[in-house]
Amino acid sequence: MVGEVQFPTNRRSTVNTDSSDLTTHAPAIEAEMARIAASIEPEEFTSLVGEAGFAVLRAAMTIAKADSITIWLADSANEHLVVTQTEPDRNFIGFKLPIGEGLVGLCYASEQRLCENQVYQNQDHSKRVDEEFSQISYAMLATPFYLAGTLRGVLSCVQLKESIDAPDPSGFTARTMNRVGRLSIALERLVTHRLLVRTLGLEL
């Protein structure tokens, strides 16, 4: 639940941050990081992304030539994947998808990247988002998203069709999927670093 994770608000920490002591306490720090990462709610995630994280998301969206990019985070009950960050339509934030549903759910469950064109014809594709926002998803790529080494959700990109009769977009390729996957890893490291700084009470 929101508020359960308590971050230090000053530079004093229960862990001595000398390099030798950090090495000694590394297993305890890693365990605490994993615990905090597993308990962060979607509403808390935004503060960890920061402007640098948004820049990574925009870069991934540009590289993929996607119409949208979204981070889905599992809620504490592990029942839904919740939209925590998205570009360009922020109205999408807070949208919930049952955790085992659709290709996003498949990516989360399998921890495998996926790339699918003509996704609107795939019976495994969830139509919830398209119906909610009156759109037609043509292509989707998805990659698992980790926080401090813990699986927490999915990063997905989508290309849209203007209508069923409209020409197909260019679609995604395996190369695009892998490039976005590398940017997802970069985002994970950035957010994990910010989480570590908070955990150790090193924020200025």
pLDDT at 202: 60
pLDDT of residue 200: 72
Task: Confirm whether 11 is domain-assigned.
Answer: no
| H/E segment holding residue 53 | helix 42-64
Cα separation, 167 vs 59, in Å, equals: 25
CA distance 173 to 115: 7
pLDDT tens for 28-46 read: 777 777 777 777 777 778 7
The stretch 60-75 carries a mean pLDDT of: 94
**Domain presence at residue 12:** no
Residue 61: exposure state from Cβ atoms within 10 A (0-12, 13-18, ≥19): buried
For 160, counting Cβ atoms within 10 Å of its Cβ (0-12 exposed, 13-18 middle, 19+ buried), the class is: middle
pLDDT for 185 equals: 93
Q: What is the pLDDT of residue 142?
A: 96
The dihedral built from the CA positions of residue 127, 99, 67 and 92, taken in this order, carries a sign that is: positive
What share of the chain has pLDDT > 70, as a percent? 86
Residue 139 in any domain: the answer is yes
pLDDT range class, residue 5, cuts 50, 70, 90: very low
pLDDT (tens digit per residue) in 91-103: 888 999 999 899 9
Residue type, 64: A
CATH at 39: 3.30.450.40
**Domain of 112, in residue numbers:** 19-199
What are residue 137's DSSP bridge partners? 160
Tell me what pLDDT residue 76 has: 83
Is the pTM higher than 0.75? The answer reads yes
Question: What whole-number distance in Å separates Cα of residue 193 and Cα of residue 148?
Answer: 9
d(CA 32, CA 38): 10
Q: What is the DSSP letter of 146?
A: E
Q: How far is CA 197 from its chain centroid?
A: 20
Stretch 124-129: mean pLDDT: 90
Domain total for the chain? 1
- As a whole number of angstroms, the distance between CA 80 and CA 157 comes to 19
| pLDDT on residue 149 | 84
Report yes or no on 191 lying in a domain: yes
Does some domain include residue 174? yes
Inside any domain, residue 5:
no
In a domain, 204, yes or no: no
Mean pLDDT of the chain, nearest integer: 83
Q: Give per-residue pLDDT as tens, 140-189.
A: 999 999 988 889 999 999 999 988 889 999 999 999 999 999 999 999 99
Within a domain: 64: yes
pLDDT in tens, 12-27: 344 444 555 556 767 7
What is the Cα–Cα distance from 25 to 21, expressed in whole angstroms?
Answer: 6
